[in-house]
Amino acid sequence: MTSLRGRSFLSTTDLSSRDMLALIELTIAGKHSGREAFGSPLHGRGVGLVFFNPSLRTRASMIMAVSQLGGQPVPLEVGAGTWDLEHRTGVVMDGAKSEHVREAVPVLAQYVDAIGVRCFPALKSLSGDRQDPVLRAFAQYSPVPVINLESAMHHPCQALADMVTIRERLGGFKGRKVSLVWANHPKVLPHAVPNSFILAALQCGLDLTVAAPPEYQPDDDFRAVMQQTALTGGGSVRCITDRDAAYDGAQVIYAKSWASTVYYGHSERDLACRANYRHWQVTSELMQRTDSGIFMHCLPVRRNVVVADSVLDSSASVVVEQAANRLAAQKALLASIFS
């Protein structure tokens, strides 16, 4: 994976399809070769882990990945133990934010050799969030590689682990039928996980169905990116509003809730809209329509809202294995960056 050496990882599309597949195979090889698989490429090095938002899996798996590769993780909570950070340019900093990323990021880079950052979207405007402003500011001001730990628009480490899970469970990608199904949720959630899952799935050549109510369909701009990525990756993509059809013959059901593309920035209207779609929950009855399909979710998941207990507690659910693959995937990623 020489293409990653010394580079940032902001989106799965930072990798070619070929390199994505190679990284997945490297992850699987490393996973089955024990903790010492990659040696200690981070010996004497540190990785800053900057969290603007909560996390269980990403925080714990990155800390362990850095440690197992011989490095020192440096977790920092923005606004809780470290200064609240401003990222906008030209702003008068007379509010709550004490430090600008323009100083904070290059200073942190004096102590560490890579910086991971988690920075959720403001969810006020789709065009604004699409710029991924906090992630881009980190990338702009960092002299060391930046690793996206879930930004406004992308969660590439999650998608990498998702593809590892599918590769191991289904034995490959070509011709495999995978459905990403929108799910009801009491909160308006970002697009990062579905975006990265869609892009990674198409880079790997899967036959992907994206099922969502009309107000939650991908917009035209992203559809164009999806079609182009499917073409390059050798798979296919279709977007449908028929929930049941997404289950018919699918080998993977990946459930996720996301913000409406129609009501983006208007959470009260989104919440009113999704009240009509409470039946977009993964149930045992729906899973029976699949081709012995597995159930996937990035976690955390709302039981009996997103997915019924009977599915989450069944042998079809691979959510814990999927989360475990975060550690394996991030070790392969870090080993490639520092090889």
Which residue stretch of 50-58, 88-96, 121-129, 278-286 sits at the interface with ligand CP (rule: CB under 6 A)?
50-58
Q: How far is the CB of 316 from ligand CP (least distance, A)?
A: 19
Stretch that binds ligand CP, among 11-19, 49-57, 242-250, 301-309 (CB under 6 A): 49-57
Regarding 330 and contact with ligand CP (CB under 6 A), the answer is: no
Contact 280, 270 (CB under 8 A): no
Contact 101, 138 (CB under 8 A): yes
Distance between CA atoms of residues 37 and 52, nearest Å = 31
57 binds ligand CP (CB under 6 A): yes
Q: Site for ligand CP (CB under 6 A): how many residues?
A: 9
**Measured from the CB atom, is 22 or 146 closer to ligand CP?**
146
Indicate the residue among 45 and 155 with the shorter CB distance to ligand CP: 155
CA separation for the pair 188, 179 (Å, rounded): 21
Token representation of residue 204: 């790997």
Q: CA angle at residue 292 from 288 to 296, to 5 degrees?
A: 90
132-161 residues in contact with ligand CP (CB under 6 A) are 150, 158
* 64 vs 158: CA distance, rounded Å: 16
185, two tokens: 């949720």
Closest CB to ligand CP among 56 and 272? 56
Q: Could you tell me which stretch among 54-62, 104-112, 163-171, 208-216 binds ligand CP (CB under 6 A)? A: 54-62
- Please give the residues from 273 up to 302 whose contact with ligand CP meets the rule CB under 6 A: 298-300
Q: Would you give the DSSP letter of residue 219?
A: P
Q: Which of 12, 27, 58, 325 binds ligand CP (CB under 6 A)?
A: 58
Q: State the nearest-atom distance from the C-beta of 193 to ligand CP, in Å.
A: 7
For ligand CP, give the closer residue by CB, 109 or 201. Answer: 201
CA distance 279 to 243: 9
- Distance (Å, whole) CA 272 – CA 281: 17
In the complex, the smallest distance separating the C-beta of residue 97 from ligand CP, rounded to whole angstroms, is 23
Classify burial at 72, counting beta carbons within 10 Å of its beta carbon; exposed 0-12, middle 13-18, buried 19 or more. middle
For residue 67, the minimal CB distance to ligand CP (Å) is 17
Closer by beta carbon to ligand CP, 149 or else 226 = 149
Q: How far is the CB of 310 from ligand CP (least distance, A)?
A: 22
| Residue type at 147 in one-letter notation | I
Q: CB of residue 241 vs ligand CP: minimum separation in angstroms?
A: 26
Q: What's the CA gap between 187 and 69, in Å, rounded? A: 37
Closer residue to ligand CP, CB minimum distance, 34 or 81: 81
Sole binder of ligand CP in the list 25, 40, 55, 236 (CB under 6 A): 55
d(CA 41, CA 81): 29
Neighbour order of strands in the sheet with 252-256:
236-240, 207-211, 177-182, 252-256, 294-296
Nearer to ligand CP, 167 or 297 (CB): 297
Instruction: Kindly tell me which of 158 and 257 has the beta carbon lying closer to ligand CP.
Output: 158
Closest Cα partner for 223 from 212, 207, 239? 239
Which stretch, 28-36, 55-63, 223-231, 259-267, contacts ligand CP (CB under 6 A)? Answer: 55-63
Binding ligand CP by CB under 6 A: which of 29, 56, 91, 224?
A: 56
In terms of CB distance, is 22 or 166 closer to ligand CP?
166
Query: Residue 118: which residues within 8 A CB-CB, separation 6 or more?
Result: 50, 51, 52, 53, 55, 58, 149, 150, 151
The nearest distance, CB 40 to ligand CP, in angstroms, is 25
Contact set with ligand CP (CB under 6 A): 55-58, 150, 158, 298-300
